[in-house]
Structure 1
Amino acid sequence: MGGGRRYRATVAARPGDGPVSVKTGLIADTQGSFDVQALLQHVASEFAGVDEIWHAGDWGSDAVLAGLRKLGPLVVINGNAPDDPRYPATMERMVGGRRVGMIHHLDARHQAWARGFDVVIHAHTHRWRDEIVGGTRFINPGTATRPQFGGTERTIARLTFDDELMVEKLMVPKFPIPTVRRGGGSGPEVDMISP
Structure 2
Amino acid sequence: MLVGVISDTHGLLRPEALEALAGSDHILHAGDVGDPAILEALRSIAPVTAIRGNVDTSGPCADLSPTEAVELAGTLFYIVHSLQDLDINAATAGVACVVSGHSHKPSFTRKDGVAYLNPGSAGPRRFSLPVTVALVDILPNRLEAKIIPILGVPNDRSERN
What's the offset of the Cα at 1:48?
2.1
CA distance in 2, matches of 1:151, 1:29: 15
Which segment is superposed worse, 166-175 or 120-129? 166-175
Q: For 2:107 and 2:20, how far apart are their aligned partners in 1?
A: 19
Which residue pairs with 2:2 in the alignment? Answer: 23
Q: Which runs of 5+ in 1 are unaligned?
A: 1-21, 177-187
Q: CA deviation at 1:70?
A: 2.1
Match of 1:114 in 2: 90
Instruction: Select 1:82's aligned residue among 56, 64, 88.
Output: 56
Contact 1:29–1:123, Cα closer than 8 Å, also in 2: yes
Q: 1:168 offset after TM fit, Å?
A: 1.5
Contact 1:47–1:158, Cα closer than 8 Å, also in 2 = yes
Whether the 8 Å contact between 1:29 and 1:126 is mirrored in structure 2 is yes
TM-score by length of 2: 0.81
Tell me: higher relative CO, structure 1 or 2? Use CA pairs within 8 A at least 6 residues apart: 1
Shift of 1:74: 1.5
Matched to 1:29, the amino acid is D
1:61 pairs, out of 16, 31, 35, with 35
- Pairwise mapping of residues 116-195 of structure 1 onto structure 2 (< 5 A)? 116=93, 117-148=95-126, 152-163=129-140, 164-173=142-151, 175=153, 190-191=158-159
Conserved 8 A contact 1:145-1:174: no
Cα distance, 1:112–1:64 mapped onto 2, change above 3 Å: closer
CA RMSD after TM alignment? 2.7
Structure 1 CA distance, aligned partners of 2:10 and 2:70? Answer: 27
Whether the aligned pair in 1 keeps the contact of 2:107 and 2:117 (CA below 8 Å) is yes
Q: CA deviation at 1:141?
A: 0.3
Q: Greater Rg, structure 1 or structure 2?
A: 1
Q: Relative to 1, partners in 2 of residues 1:97 and 1:145: Cα closer, same or farther, differing over 3 Å?
A: same
Identity %: 25
- Tell whether the 8 Å contact from 1:120 to 1:137 is kept in structure 2 after alignment: yes
How far is 1:174 from its partner?
A: 5.6
1:45 counterpart residue number = 19
Q: Scaled by the length of structure 1, what TM-score is found?
A: 0.68
